[in-house]
Structure 1
Amino acid sequence: LEKIFIEKRIYRTIEEIETFEEVIETVDKGLKPYKKQFYREITRDDILRLLEIRIKRISKYDSFKADELLKDLEKELKETLHHLKHLTEYAIAYYQNLLDKYGKGRERRTEIKSFQSVVATEVISNNQKLYVNREDGFVGFGLKKDDKTEFITECSDLDDIIAIRKDGKALVSRIKEKVFMGKDILHVGVWKKGDERMVYNLIYSDGKSGRTFAKRFAMPAIIRDKEYNLDQGNPNSKVHYLSANPNGEAEVVEVKLSQSSTARKKIFDFDFSELEIKGRGARGNTITHYPVRKVDFKESKGSTLSGLELWFDEASGRLNKDKRGKHVGKFNGDDQILAITKSGNYKITSFDLNNRYEPENKTILIEKFNPKKVISAVYFDGESKHYFVKRFTIETTTPDKDFNFISEGIGSRLEFATTSDNPEIEMEVVKGKGKDKETEVVNLEDIIDVKGWKSIGNRLSQHKVTKVRPVEEPEDSGLEEGDEENVEMTEANSSLSSKKKIYQPEIEEGEQASLFGEEPKEQVLVNGQPAKAKPAKPKEAEQADLFGEEKEEVKSGNLKAESDGNENSDQKGFSPGETIDLDL
Structure 2
Amino acid sequence: GLKSHGHSTLGGRKVWFDPDVNRINYDENGRFLGEFNDDESILVVLDNGEFYITNFDANNHYEDNILRLEKWDEHKIWTAILYDADNEGYPYIKRFTMDATKRHQNFMGENPNSKLILLTDTAFPRLKVTYGGVDAVRPAEDIDAEQFIAQKSFKAKGKRLTTWKLESIEELEPTRFPEPSTDDDSTKGNNSDDAENTGGNEESVENLDPDAGKSEQQIIDELTGQTNLFSDKDFTEDDKKDQDWLSKQ
Which TM class, normalised by the smaller chain length? Answer: 0.5 to 0.7
How is 1:3-402 mapped onto 2 (pairs within 5 angstroms)?
125-133=11-19, 138-141=22-25, 145=29, 149=30, 151-156=31-36, 158=38, 159-192=40-73, 195-196=74-75, 198-208=76-86, 209-219=88-98, 221-224=99-102, 226-245=103-122, 249-257=123-131, 259-260=132-133, 262-265=135-138, 267-274=140-147, 275-289=149-163, 292=166, 294-303=168-177, 310-311=183-184, 323-325=190-192
SS of equivalent residue, structure 1 residue 232: coil
Encode CA deviations 1:118-174: one digit per residue, 9 max, x unaligned.
xxxxx95443132252x87x24225894xxx5x143222522011222211111111
| Deviation, structure 1 residue 230 | 0.6
How is 1:478-517 mapped onto 2 (pairs within 5 angstroms)?
none
Encode CA deviations 1:223-255: one digit per residue, 9 max, x unaligned.
22x11111122112222211224xxx2121223
Change beyond 3 A, Cα 1:177–1:272? same
TM-score (norm 1): 0.28
Which amino acid letter does the alignment assign opposite residue 129 of structure 1? Answer: V
SS of equivalent residue, structure 1 residue 273: helix
Which amino acid letter does the alignment assign opposite residue 78 of structure 2? Answer: Y
In the aligned structure 1, how far is the partner of 2:187 from the partner of 2:25? 29
Question: What is the aligned partner in structure 2 of residue 579 from structure 1?
Answer: none
| Deviation, structure 1 residue 321 | 8.8
- Contact residue 163 and residue 171 of structure 1 kept, 8 A: yes
In the aligned structure 2, how far is the partner of 1:261 from the partner of 1:132? 45
| Deviation, structure 1 residue 322 | 10
- Contact residue 15 and residue 28 of structure 2 kept, 8 A: no
| Deviation, structure 1 residue 222 | 3.4
In the aligned structure 2, how far is the partner of 1:200 from the partner of 1:322? 31
In the aligned structure 2, how far is the partner of 1:322 from the partner of 1:206? 47
How is 1:358-507 mapped onto 2 (pairs within 5 angstroms)?
none
Change beyond 3 A, Cα 1:129–1:307? closer
Question: What is the aligned partner in structure 1 of residue 225 from structure 2?
Answer: none
SS of equivalent residue, structure 1 residue 179: coil
Change beyond 3 A, Cα 1:289–1:152? farther
| Deviation, structure 1 residue 260 | 4.5
- Contact residue 200 and residue 218 of structure 1 kept, 8 A: yes
In the aligned structure 2, how far is the partner of 1:323 from the partner of 1:152? 36
- Contact residue 129 and residue 143 of structure 2 kept, 8 A: yes
Gaps of 5+ in 1: 1-122, 313-318, 328-474, 478-584
Gaps of 5+ in 2: 1-8, 195-206, 210-249
Question: What is the aligned partner in structure 1 of residue 5 from structure 2?
Answer: none
In the aligned structure 2, how far is the partner of 1:125 from the partner of 1:295? 44
Change beyond 3 A, Cα 1:266–1:310? same
Encode CA deviations 1:180-208: one digit per residue, 9 max, x unaligned.
3433322222114xx43x11111111234
Which amino acid letter does the alignment assign opposite residue 119 of structure 2? Answer: L
TM-score (norm 2): 0.60
Encode CA deviations 1:80-99: one digit per residue, 9 max, x unaligned.
xxxxxxxxxxxxxxxxxxxx
Percent of residue pairs identical: 16
Change beyond 3 A, Cα 1:326–1:191? farther
In the aligned structure 1, how far is the partner of 2:85 from the partner of 2:72? 28
- Contact residue 311 and residue 323 of structure 1 kept, 8 A: no
- Contact residue 130 and residue 155 of structure 1 kept, 8 A: no
| Deviation, structure 1 residue 325 | 4.9
CA RMSD of aligned residues (A): 3.7
In the aligned structure 2, how far is the partner of 1:203 from the partner of 1:163? 18
Task: Work out which structure has the larger RCO, using CA pairs closer than 8 Å and 6 or more positions apart in sequence.
Answer: 2
SS of equivalent residue, structure 2 residue 161: strand
- Contact residue 51 and residue 100 of structure 2 kept, 8 A: no
- Contact residue 311 and residue 324 of structure 1 kept, 8 A: no
Q: Which has the larger radius of gyration?
A: 1
More helix by share: 2
- Contact residue 152 and residue 189 of structure 1 kept, 8 A: no
